[in-house]
């Protein structure tokens, strides 16, 4: 819970698109880069999967479609 609140606080301080992405757990340097790309007219797509196999399939679909800046990240669940 603490890390989620910390991310939300940092996101609120930055504001805008980058702030929202930071609040969702995207590292600040990536969030700022994504915000700049969005302002240029690019699209940001996020996909959540439950299995590594599905992650590989999703990544391959984006690669086949010519997507740029494809990245994967793990999600850590915060206990109560």
User: What total of structural domains would you count in the chain?
Assistant: 1
Let me know if residue 21 belongs to a domain: yes
Let me know if residue 71 belongs to a domain: no
C-alpha span between 71 and 63 (Å, rounded) = 11
Among 12-16, 43-47, 67-71, the range scoring the smallest mean pLDDT is 12-16
Let me know if residue 78 belongs to a domain: no
Residues in the chain: 80
Let me know if residue 79 belongs to a domain: no
Let me know if residue 8 belongs to a domain: yes
Residue 75 CB coordination number (10 Å): 7
Let me know if residue 73 belongs to a domain: no
Mean pLDDT of 58-74: 88
Instruction: Please indicate, yes or no, whether the overall pTM of this predicted structure exceeds 0.85.
Output: no
Let me know if residue 49 belongs to a domain: yes
Domain extent at residue 39: 2-64
Q: What pLDDT digit, counting tens, does each position of 28-55 carry?
A: 888 898 899 989 999 888 888 888 889 8
């Amino acid at each position: 819970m603490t890390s989620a609140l910390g991310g939300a606080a940092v996101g609120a301080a930055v504001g805008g698109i980058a702030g929202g992405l930071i609040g969702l757990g995207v590292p600040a340097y990536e969030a700022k880069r994504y915000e700049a790309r969005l302002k240029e007219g690019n699209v940001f797509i996020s996909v959540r999967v439950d299995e590594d196999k599905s992650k590989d399939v999703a990544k391959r679909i984006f690669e086949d479609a010519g997507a740029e800046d494809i990245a994967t990240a793990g999600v850590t669940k915060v206990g109560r």
